[in-house]
Structure 1
């Protein structure tokens, strides 16, 4: 799935936080999706692959990933 992340969509990285925190703004209408999905070609299957999508739209290729630290 394209992974929803907390960042608000901006056309460039100019002004983005340097500490890895999410880039947000009041009344954000579009969020960032990362990583591509099973339906995309390999060039999207990386964390640098990014796309914007409206906050209130559902789509079968968009979702989130669950991660857990293993001991």
Structure 2
């Protein structure tokens, strides 16, 4: 058995263990968008901090944090 045959066998073994096709993070990112503005229904990541949410509420709607995000406040 030559080196070419060994390389072909190794490629076959590695192909079985390799992932099948490209993976996307789009679905996992969509699942993390759980904070929703009650006024405009814009979604925010679950890791969004209160100052960013307050900035959205004041700049977009002229309201407070509790008005736009009642479940968060």
Higher RCO, 1 vs 2 (CA within 8 Å, ≥6 residues apart): 1
**Greater fraction strand:** 1
Query: TM-score under structure 2 normalisation?
Result: 0.21
**Greater fraction helix:** 2
Which structure: larger Rg?
2
